[in-house]
C-alpha cells in the first residue's frame, strides 16, 4: 500500500510550473549574495546556477516537530504509560531541555514563531489559518523563515508535514524557503484533508494511518539524496493531533483506549528512522537534530503534572519537550533547566551557519552556549501570547500571569467530544477511540488550586504545577515583571495586524478523488471544496 502510494506520488514529481520558476527564496538568495559580490555578473551566474555547498563544516539541520505532544508524553519526560526508546536515546546522547517553551499554545502561531524566531504577532499568523472557517491569512512576505535563511546559506531544504502558515499561494512552503514540500498544509482535522506536493493537491481523501510512515520516508529519502551537501529537513508531523491514526505496525486494537500511545510510539519510531539514516550515512558529527512540539496536549495526552492543556497559558499549554542532538558538538547526557524557547531555534542556527540576522528583529536568543555546556544561564524573559494578547512572562524561576489564563474545563465522565466541523463525506474521527473531555491531559488542575486570574505569580522551581500564588509575598517581583509586560504589550500594539472579518464559510462535498495522476493546483482544490473562491 505504502509502496504503491509512494510510487504513484513519485510519478507526479518534476512537473514544470512557470509560477515557480523564480520563487521568492531564490530572489532573496540572489539579492543577498549579489550585494556581497557587488558584481552583476556574479549575480547573473547565481541566477542560473544552483548554489553548491562551499564547505563541509555547515551542519545539516533536521527539525522535527510533533503536533499537540504534551510535556509529559515521552518516557524521557517521565511518562509511565509507554516507552519511547528512540527519543530516550536521543536525549541520552544529546541535551534534554526541561523548561522549553512555545510562544503561543496553538498550532499556526507557534510554528510562525519557530520558523522566524519572532513572536507571532509580528508575523501575520497570530491565530490559526483555517481553510474551512474562511481564515485565509498567512505568513507575511516580509518575514524571513528558517528555510529562507538556510537557502541563502546554500542548503537544500524540504518541508514535510503540517505547514499551517497559510494555505493560499503566497504562503506556500515553496515560496517561503523550501525547495520541496509534501504534506497537509494545515491541521489534519481541517477540511479538505488533502496531501499536497509543492503547489499541487496530489491526494484526496487521505488515509491518515500512514501519514507518519510516509512523512518519515520523505525525510529519509531527502537526507539520502542530499548527503553530499548541507540540507535542512523540517518535519512537522501531523500526529498526535486529532484525529489520531497509526499504521498497522503500531496500532494495538487488542488494548483499547491507548491509541494515543500507539501514535506516540510511531512518532518515536520515526525519530529513530531519521537518526539511523544519519548514522548510516556517517553524518552524525555534522548534523543537528532538534525535536519538539508546537503546543501542549489535547485530551488523551499528558502534561506530566503541569496545569492546563493546549490553548492555555498554564504551563501545560506552553511548555513542551525539547531534545537537541548533535554528537559532534553537543555533549550527551545533559538535562538543561535553563528556560529556552522555540524562538531560539532560528538565531541559534543563524549563528552556526554565520548568517546575519540583526536586521530581522528576532526575539529569540542564540542558545548554543547553553546547549554545549559553556554557559549555564541566560539573562532573558520568555513571553507567551494568546493571539495578540500577552498571557504570561517568565524570567528565571518566576512566572507572572499577565492576563487570565484559560484552559478548557475538566470534563465529566459522561461528556463526549463532538467534533463541531461539518462533514464533507469523509469521517475524520473514529468515535470509539476518540478521547473525551474527562480524559483531561493535566492532573494538577482542580477546583482547590490557585485561581485562574491575571496577576498571579508562581515559583516554577518549586511549583511547576502553578498551585501556590506568591504575588502578595513578592510585590517587587510582580512590579518588575509587570513593567516588562507593559513594554511588550506596547510593542505588540504597534505590530498587530487587522484581521479581516470571518466569512460564514460553509463547505460542501470534497474536491473529488485526487491522485498523483489527476493532481490539481491546491487553490483549485480549495475552491471546489468551499462555497466561495479563495482570494487571489
Ligand atoms: Ca498543535
Helices (H), 153-258: 211-225
Whether residue 401 is contained in a domain is answered as no
So which residues are the catalytic ones?
107, 164
Q: How far apart are CA 507 and CA 251, in angstroms?
A: 32
pLDDT, tens digit, 9 for 90 and up, residues 349-396: 999 999 999 999 999 999 999 999 998 889 999 999 999 999 999 999
The CATH number of the domain holding residue 349 is 3.40.720.10
Which triple of cell numbers denotes residue 61? 539541520
CA atoms within 13 A on the CB side of 153: 29
Spacing, Cα 240 to ligand 1 middle (Å)? 9
Which triple of cell numbers denotes residue 472? 502578595
User: Phi first, then psi: what are they for 325, rounded to 5°?
Assistant: -130, 125
Spacing, Cα 345 to ligand 1 middle (Å)? 18
Per the model's pLDDT, the better-predicted residue between 494 and 463 turns out to be 463
Whether residue 192 is contained in a domain is answered as yes
- What is the reported pTM? 0.89
Whether residue 306 is contained in a domain is answered as yes
Specify the long-range contacts of residues 432-435, CB closer than 8 Å, at least 24 apart. 433/244, 433/256, 433/257, 433/259, 434/242, 434/243, 435/242, 435/244, 435/260, 435/298, 435/299, 435/300
Model confidence at 5: pLDDT above 50: no
Whether residue 314 is contained in a domain is answered as yes
CA distances from residue 288 to 34, 94, 101 in whole angstroms, order as listed: 29, 10, 19
Which triple of cell numbers denotes residue 491? 510593542
pLDDT, tens digit, 9 for 90 and up, residues 336-353: 999 999 999 999 999 999
Whether residue 305 is contained in a domain is answered as yes
How many domains, in total, are found in the chain?
A: 1
Spacing, Cα 107 to ligand 1 middle (Å)? 4
Whether residue 394 is contained in a domain is answered as no
Task: State which residues form the domain around 144.
Answer: 60-379
Number of residues assigned to the chain: 536
Spacing, Cα 219 to ligand 1 middle (Å)? 20
- Tell the burial category of 333 from Cβ atoms under 10 Å away from its Cβ (0-12, 13-18, 19+): exposed
Whether residue 195 is contained in a domain is answered as yes
pLDDT, tens digit, 9 for 90 and up, residues 112-141: 999 999 999 999 999 999 998 889 999 999
Contact in structure between 69 and 321 (CB atoms under 8 Å): yes
Contact in structure between 8 and 517 (CB atoms under 8 Å): yes
What's the pLDDT at 448? 59
Q: Which residues, in sequence order, are bridge partners of residue 457? A: 400
Q: How many CB atoms lie within 10 A of CB 341?
A: 30
Spacing, Cα 294 to ligand 1 middle (Å)? 5
Whether residue 93 is contained in a domain is answered as yes
pLDDT, tens digit, 9 for 90 and up, residues 32-76: 333 333 333 333 333 333 343 333 479 999 999 999 999 999 999
Rounded to the nearest 10 degrees, what angle do helices 345-352 and 107-116 cross at? 20
Listed in sequence order, the residues at least 6 apart from 51 whose beta carbon sits closer than 8 Å to its beta carbon are 29, 154
Contact in structure between 234 and 174 (CB atoms under 8 Å): no
Amino acid at each position: 500500500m505504502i509502496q504503491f502510494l509512494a510510487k504513484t506520488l513519485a510519478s507526479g514529481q518534476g512537473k514544470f510550473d512557470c509560477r515557480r520558476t523564480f520563487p521568492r527564496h531564490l530572489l532573496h538568495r540572489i539579492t543577498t549574495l549579489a550585494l556581497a559580490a557587488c558584481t552583476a555578473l556574479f549575480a547573473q551566474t547565481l541566477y542560473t546556477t544552483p548554489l553548491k555547498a562551499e564547505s563541509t563544516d555547515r551542519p545539516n539541520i533536521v527539525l522535527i516537530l510533533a503536533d499537540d505532544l504534551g510535556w509529559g508524553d515521552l518516557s524521557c519526560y517521565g511518562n509511565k504509560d509507554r516507552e519511547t526508546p528512540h527519543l530516550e536515546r536521543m536525549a541520552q546522547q544529546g541535551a534534554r531541555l526541561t523548561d522549553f517553551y512555545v510562544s503561543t499554545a496553538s498550532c499556526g502561531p507557534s510554528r510562525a514563531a519557530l520558523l522566524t524566531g519572532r513572536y507571532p504577532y509580528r508575523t501575520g499568523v497570530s491565530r490559526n489559518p483555517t481553510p474551512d472557517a474562511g481564515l485565509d491569512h498567512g505568513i507575511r512576505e516580509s518575514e524571513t523563515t528558517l528555510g529562507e535563511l538556510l537557502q541563502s546559506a546554500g542548503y537544500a531544504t524540504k518541508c514535510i508535514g503540517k505547514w499551517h502558515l497559510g494555505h493560499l499561494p503566497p504562503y506556500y512552503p515553496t515560496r517561503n524557503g523550501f525547495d520541496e514540500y509534501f504534506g497537509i498544509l494545515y491541521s489534519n482535522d481541517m477540511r479538505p484533508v488533502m496531501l499536497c506536493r509543492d503547489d499541487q493537491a496530489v491526494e484526496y481523501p487521505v488515509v491518515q494511518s500512514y501519514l507518519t510512515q510516509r512523512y518519515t520516508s520523505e525525510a529519509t529519502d531527502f537526507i539520502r539524496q542530499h548527503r553530499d551537501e548541507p540540507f535542512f529537513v523540517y518535519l512537522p508531523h501531523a500526529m498526535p493531533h486529532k484525529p489520531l491514526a497509526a499504521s498497522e505496525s503500531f496500532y494495538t486494537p487488542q488494548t483499547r483506549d491507548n491509541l494515543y500511545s500507539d501514535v506516540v510510539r510511531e512518532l518515536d519510531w520515526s525519530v529513530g528512522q531519521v537518526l539511523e539514516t544519519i548514522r548510516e550515512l556517517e553524518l552524525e558529527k555534522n548534523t543537528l537534530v532538534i525535536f519538539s512540539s508546537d503546543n501542549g496536549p489535547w485530551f488523551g495526552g499528558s502534561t506530566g503534572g503541569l496545569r492546563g492543556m493546549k490553548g492555555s497559558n498554564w504551563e501545560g499549554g506552553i511548555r513542551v519537550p525539547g531534545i537537541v542532538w548533535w554528537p559532534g558538538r553537543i555533549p550527551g547526557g545533559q538535562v538543561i533547566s535553563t528556560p529556552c524557547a522555540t524562538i531560539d531555534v532560528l538565531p541559534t542556527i543563524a549563528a552556526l551557519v554565520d548568517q546575519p540576522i540583526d536586521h530581522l528583529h528576532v526575539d529569540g536568543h542564540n542558545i548554543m552556549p547553553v546547549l554545549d555546556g559553556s554557559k549555564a544561564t541566560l539573562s532573558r524573559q520568555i513571553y507567551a501570547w494568546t493571539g495578540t494578547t500577552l498571557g504570561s512572562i517568565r524570567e528565571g524561576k518566576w512566572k507572572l500571569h499577565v492576563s487570565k489564563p484559560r484552559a478548557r474545563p475538566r470534563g465529566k465522565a459522561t461528556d463526549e467530544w463532538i467534533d463541531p466541523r461539518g462533514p464533507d463525506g469523509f469521517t475524520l474521527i473514529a468515535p470509539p477511540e476518540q478521547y473525551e473531555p474527562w480524559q483531561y491531559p493535566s492532573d494538577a488542575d482542580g477546583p482547590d488550586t490557585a485561581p485562574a486570574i491575571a496577576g498571579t505569580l508562581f515559583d516554577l522551581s518549586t511549583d511547576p504545577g502553578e498551585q501556590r500564588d506568591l504575588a502578595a509575598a513578592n510585590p517587587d517581583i510582580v512590579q518588575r515583571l509587570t513593567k516588562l509586560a507593559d513594554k511588550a504589550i506596547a510593542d505588540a500594539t504597534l505590530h498587530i495586524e487587522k484581521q479581516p472579518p470571518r466569512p460564514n464559510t460553509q463547505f460542501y462535498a470534497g474536491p473529488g478523488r485526487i491522485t498523483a495522476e489527476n493532481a490539481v493546483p491546491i487553490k483549485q482544490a480549495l475552491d471546489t471544496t468551499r462555497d466561495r473562491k479563495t482570494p487571489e
